[in-house]
Chains A and B, each alone.
Chain A
Amino acid sequence: MAGIKDLGVGIGWRSEIDLTVERLPGVDFVEVVAENLHIGHLPESVTLLLERGIPVLPHAVSLSLGGAEELDMGRVEHLGAVAEAVGAPMVSDHVCFVRAGGLDSGHLMPVPRTRDALDVLVENVTLAQRNLPVPLALENVAALLEWPDGELSEGEFLAELVERTDCWLLVDVANLYANARNIGTDPERFLDEIPLERLAYVHVAGGVEHGEVYHDTHAHAVLPEVLGVLDELCSRVNPPGVLLERDDNYPSDTEIASELAAIRAVVDKHRG
């Protein structure tokens, strides 16, 4: 993976579990939500992790790169500043939009998989990349709906995005599983279609099923099926990093450590 060093197994740093993250065994890297950090006032815990040599990767949720509106350069600059403050090798956001017509969705909304929407996305990503000090990785989102008249599969859409922008991919296997469950995405086809050589790292998260719908909550345990998708991915490529995301309803330190160990077991199985 030229340009992306081996990250190992990591966890999303959240202030509620800062001491847990600091004390968990086998945390090779962490990810922080860029919008939650203030330049010049890094949390003590993040500083401590940096001092230990643990890579800290900023992950943004508000660039709205798939939106038709003009890119908010203030948000891009903030992401870049966070990356510089923590010495990050890369930053990331999502293939989605979160704002339109002056309204904030509060969710990561999927973009229509049309060539017009791809043109918009490519333009925004290119502009963001020009203003970021480090490479940008983009993540597939969990969608509860598919826009009509899609011209490309999700894998084809991302492959063309990578080809036109030279961005990296952050593959969320939980989102992939959610899409398989909710809108019929074929995870294997997705993995066949995306350029795995541009894989930056992988997200793993938990969720829960309500009725016929799987919700990617990041507040429940990681399902074996999600680890199954990770297993499928690892059978094709050795991911530079795999990160557990947990955003709420934090379980005990022991349970979190078990989830990390389960992830590591899948990764190590394929590393031989």
Chain B
Amino acid sequence: MVTPTTTRGTRFTPEQIGFLAAGPGRATEAALARLLDAGLLRVSRDNRVSAVHQSRQGATTAVEARLLNQTRTPVSLKSAVKITSSGTEVRALHQQLLDDGLMQRPRPRNAAWWFLLAMAVVLVAVSFQSPWALVGAASFLLMGIWLRGRKPVTRAGRAALRSATASDRVFAVALYGFTGKVGTQEVGDLFDLPKDVARSIPLKQKKKRRSSARGGASCGAAVASYSSCGSTGCGSSHSHSCGSSGHSCGGGGSSCGGGGGCGGGGGD
């Protein structure tokens, strides 16, 4: 028995949600989680992962097929995730998210933007003596607005994230990663993964923390809907189990779980 691969409240796949939440690595983690959940991958205490079947039997997505192909002989979990994350299949997933308007090419605030801002401030100061300078200030501000940085996840993407809940352990990974937490429960525990194994999965810690701090809205939404995810998923009651393996899906926590990465950031 496996946990459901779709979840109530979202029409998006765990890989899509994972990518929106924290980028290609998280999308790969979501694929890995689905394969572990289905018993198609096996991990060992020495952080190696191997496909249970020699064929790519059981893969439901291109990313999953890539992971299974890569693990026909045991390889380190770290390299499996890293290589798959940079593979064509995950790039295609990204492109699909771009095409669907859930993501956009990020545009960081560069030196030119800061220069425009500084010029606008200077001209505003000058305008106290020469009011015509306000016109220049407004021009620089307009250019600054046009060139302002933008996040990789669009408004639609953020809405998609808010629609996703940790209603099963695969979506828990997509939203928070194997080392994240759902309430007070570590997501890796939902898969009975030893701590060292979960920690061997490569993470972009800086990016994760930043996305946690910025992603309050989606995090709140995820936890709120998580706590009411119904009778067959991980219920708000502590006694409900999550899928076949009887893992409770957390304690109905009301916090975002320290450093779990609550989405909204990420990007490439």
Which of B39, B44, B50, B53 is A253 in contact with, Cβ under 8 Å? B39
Enumerate B53-73 residues with CB–CB distance to A below 8 Å.
53-54
Q: CB-CB contacts of A148-160 with B at 8 A, as 1s and 0s?
A: 0000000000000
> Is B82 part of the contact surface with A, judged by Cβ < 8 Å?
no
A252: which B residues are within 8 A, CB to CB? 39-40, 52
Which of A16, A249, A251, A254 is B44 in contact with, Cβ under 8 Å? A16
Q: Does the CB pair B45–A19 fall under 8 Å? A: yes
In the complex, besides A16-B74, A19-B44, A249-B54, 5 extra interface pairs with C-beta distance below 8 angstroms are A15-B48, A17-B42, A17-B44, A18-B44, A45-B45
Q: Does the CB pair A44–B45 fall under 8 Å? A: yes
Binding site for A on B (CB under 8 A): 39-40, 42-46, 48, 50, 52-54, 74, 192, 194
Enumerate A165-220 residues with CB–CB distance to B below 8 Å.
none
A20: which B residues are within 8 A, CB to CB? 42
Q: Which of A19, A20, A43, A254 has the most CB of B within 10 A?
A: A19
A15: which B residues are within 8 A, CB to CB? 44-46, 48
A18: which B residues are within 8 A, CB to CB? 44-46
Q: Does the CB pair A251–B52 fall under 8 Å? A: yes
Q: Does the CB pair B45–A250 fall under 8 Å? A: no
Binding site for B on A (CB under 8 A): 15-20, 23, 43-45, 249-254
Ordered nearest first, which 7 A-B pairs have the shortest CB separation?
Answer: A252-B52, A252-B39, A18-B45, A18-B44, A45-B45, A16-B44, A44-B45
B49 — nearest CB in chain A belongs to which residue? A16
CB of B171 to closest CB in A, whole Å: 23
Q: Does the CB pair B45–A43 fall under 8 Å? A: yes
B39: which A residues are within 8 A, CB to CB? 252-254
Q: Does the CB pair B52–A16 fall under 8 Å? A: no
A-B contact pairs, 8 of them (CB 8 A): A16-B42, A17-B42, A19-B45, A250-B50, A251-B52, A252-B39, A252-B52, A254-B39
Complex-state Cα separation, A144 to B213, whole angstroms: 66
Complex-state Cα separation, A44 to B42, whole angstroms: 17
CB of B199 to closest CB in A, whole Å: 14
Which of B40, B50, B194 is A16 in contact with, Cβ under 8 Å? B50
A251: which B residues are within 8 A, CB to CB? 52-53
Complex-state Cα separation, A1 to B165, whole angstroms: 58
Complex-state Cα separation, A23 to B48, whole angstroms: 17
Known interface pairs A17-B42, A19-B42, A19-B43; A250-B48 also in contact (CB < 8 Å) = no
CB of A217 to closest CB in B, whole Å: 13
Complex-state Cα separation, A45 to B39, whole angstroms: 20
Complex-state Cα separation, A19 to B40, whole angstroms: 14
Complex-state Cα separation, A250 to B50, whole angstroms: 9
Complex-state Cα separation, A15 to B45, whole angstroms: 8
Complex-state Cα separation, A81 to B250, whole angstroms: 44
Q: Which of B45, B53, B192 has the most CB of A within 10 A?
A: B45
B54: which A residues are within 8 A, CB to CB? 249
CB of A253 to closest CB in B, whole Å: 7
